Chain A
Amino acid sequence: MTETATPLWEVFVRPRNGLAHRHVGSLHAHDAMMALQAARDVYTRRGETLSIWVVPSSAIVASDPAEKDMMFEPTATKIYRHPTFYDVPDDVGHM
């Protein structure tokens, strides 16, 4: 094959207003317009969406799963960030 590899894009769709765009998968396309059209054909054949985002996969910066402890463990010890950490007297009722 004489062809160069086609760039990869990540596809996000918003099923309806009020919901966030959600990642649904990826596809290959040479430019943004073709990526949008391909995303329409591949990921929205049954009226699942009102809006599509396509993002070059190379533009995504991801955290490293091997460093997940260093990244996220500190939150596990901060239980005072949760409302259930604090006692409210019974006679006060729901707060």
Chain B
Amino acid sequence: MYAQGLNSTDPAAVEAEDPDRLAAFQARIDAEEKIEPNDWMPAQYRRTLVRQISQHAHSEVIGMQPEGNWVTRAPTLARKAQLLAKIQDEAGHGLYLYSAAETLGVTREALYDQLLSGRAKYSSIFNYPTLNYADMGAIGWLVDGAAIMNQIPLCRCSYGPYARAMILVCKEESFHQRQGYAIMVAMCRGSAEQRAMAQDALNRFWQPSIMMFGPHDSNSTHSELSMKWKIKRFTNDGLRRKFIDATVPQAHSLGLTIPDPDLRFNEATGHWEHGAIDWDEFARVLGGDGPCNRQRLKHRRAAEAEGAWVREAAAAYAAKRRGANERAA
């Protein structure tokens, strides 16, 4: 899901590897051994992980913006504190993930640069606007819910530092989903106007949420190698189905309607089946032309530029202290 924008893997690059080393590597993966930073790995494995982990990190960092929009307008002090705690977690998750990516030999500065220059992708979901406070409920419930579906199998990813980062993230993420659902429960038990707000938020976030899992398996070219290398454990469609099966009863419990007239329960398979997904919209949003893409990047660039003097001052102070210590020695 955080690898929505991955280019397809290049089979020629894999064939160029030493076949003996490649076979030994695959044997370790098949034996469920974790790969650690200094171990030999195929260049394509390294590249795929750098892209996937950094896109995941960028998603966490950009993901603070839609929620940050409502901090000053949260309805109570308690809800404001909860929202702030959640946003602080997103920052923390971004930092765990950047650190994991750096173990593969890429610098933090290079990763930031890829995000700020617009070359790197991040999850399409964060390019949708948050129009009212009910969206804080819908995002926690649906977006964090979808993220958990994706992240739990990543705790068993073959690359050790990514798996360990995901264990930390998953421990913290379940608070996010429950916090969001609790907002939906409060609104659905409230006035008719609040129920309408909750339904409206679900209407706007349902499609973008199920798009988070990425294209259908039949159109997902990079899946096969990622599955073979156990970077990925489940397919896009498999995870999407798990998410929908879990979420539909939660919507019904709230008394809300999933905005999909074709949604139906298949008695034979025991799964919910969804209607068509607007993949043109998905491609547009991922390609930079969603409702908020420009605003998100503009804001991120401004934050980076406005914080530059702090980083420069910290570096200058550290250099001065080093100089003083050397003179004293």
Residue numbers of A with Cβ under 8 A of B are 1-6, 8, 24-31, 34, 41-43, 45-46, 62, 64-66
Q: Given the complex, which residues of B lie within 8 Å of A41, measured CB to CB? A: 88, 92
Q: Given the complex, which residues of B lie within 8 Å of A29, measured CB to CB? A: 314
Is B228's beta carbon under 8 Å from chain A? no
> Which applies to chain B's interface (DSSP): helix, strand, loop or mixed?
helix
Write the chain B residue with the least CB distance to A1: B109
Is B38's beta carbon under 8 Å from chain A? yes
Is A30's CB under 8 angstroms from B38's CB? no
Is B315's CB under 8 angstroms from A30's CB? yes
> Interface 1/0s, chain B 301-322, versus A by CB < 8 A?
0000000100110110110010
Q: Given the complex, which residues of B lie within 8 Å of A45, measured CB to CB? A: 85, 88-89, 92, 172
Is B95's CB under 8 angstroms from A42's CB? yes
B65-124 with Cβ < 8 A to chain A: 85, 88-89, 92, 95-96, 99, 102, 107-109, 113
User: In the complex, A42→B315 CA distance in Å?
Assistant: 20
Is B95's CB under 8 angstroms from A27's CB? yes
Smallest Cβ distance from B318 to chain A, in angstroms?
A: 4
Q: Given the complex, which residues of A lie within 8 Å of B96, measured CB to CB? A: 25, 42
Smallest Cβ distance from A55 to chain B, in angstroms?
A: 14
Highest count of chain B CB atoms <10 Å: which of A4, A5, A42, A66? A42
Given A25-B99, A64-B38, A65-B38, A42-B92 contact (CB < 8 Å): yes
A5-B108, A31-B318, A45-B85 are known; give 9 further A-B pairs, CB within 8 A: A24-B168, A26-B99, A31-B314, A31-B321, A41-B88, A41-B92, A42-B96, A46-B172, A66-B40
Closest 4 CB pairs of A and B: A30-B318, A30-B314, A31-B318, A26-B99
Chain B: residues with Cβ within 8 Å of the partner, total of 28
User: In the complex, A27→B312 CA distance in Å?
Assistant: 17
Is B36's beta carbon under 8 Å from chain A? yes
Is A4's CB under 8 angstroms from B315's CB? yes
Is B314's CB under 8 angstroms from A34's CB? yes
Write the chain A residue with the least CB distance to B88: A45
Is A6's CB under 8 angstroms from B315's CB? yes
Is B38's CB under 8 angstroms from A3's CB? no
Given A41-B92, A42-B92, A65-B38, A28-B108 contact (CB < 8 Å): yes
User: In the complex, A28→B318 CA distance in Å?
Assistant: 13
A-B contact pairs, 6 of them (CB 8 A): A3-B315, A6-B315, A25-B96, A25-B168, A30-B315, A41-B88
Q: Given the complex, which residues of A lie within 8 Å of B85, measured CB to CB? A: 45
Is B15's beta carbon under 8 Å from chain A? no
User: In the complex, A28→B110 CA distance in Å?
Assistant: 14
Which among B113, B165, B315 is the interface contact of A25 at CB below 8 angstroms? B165
Is B92's CB under 8 angstroms from A3's CB? no
User: In the complex, A3→B39 CA distance in Å?
Assistant: 31
Which among A26, A42, A66 is the interface contact of B102 at CB below 8 angstroms? A26
Which among A3, A24, A43 is the interface contact of B311 at CB below 8 angstroms? A3
User: In the complex, A73→B96 CA distance in Å?
Assistant: 34
Q: Given the complex, which residues of A lie within 8 Å of B317, measured CB to CB? A: 30-31
User: In the complex, A4→B312 CA distance in Å?
Assistant: 9
Q: Given the complex, which residues of B lie within 8 Å of A31, measured CB to CB? A: 314, 317-318, 321
Q: Given the complex, which residues of A lie within 8 Å of B102, measured CB to CB? A: 8, 26
User: In the complex, A30→B310 CA distance in Å?
Assistant: 11
User: In the complex, A53→B40 CA distance in Å?
Assistant: 30
Q: Given the complex, which residues of A lie within 8 Å of B108, measured CB to CB? A: 5-6, 28
Q: Given the complex, which residues of A lie within 8 Å of B109, measured CB to CB? A: 1, 3, 5
Smallest Cβ distance from A88 to chain B, in angstroms?
A: 35
Write the chain B residue with the least CB distance to A11: B99
> Interface 1/0s, chain B 157-181, versus A by CB < 8 A?
0000000110010001000000000
Is B113's CB under 8 angstroms from A1's CB? yes
User: In the complex, A8→B99 CA distance in Å?
Assistant: 9
Smallest Cβ distance from A85 to chain B, in angstroms?
A: 27
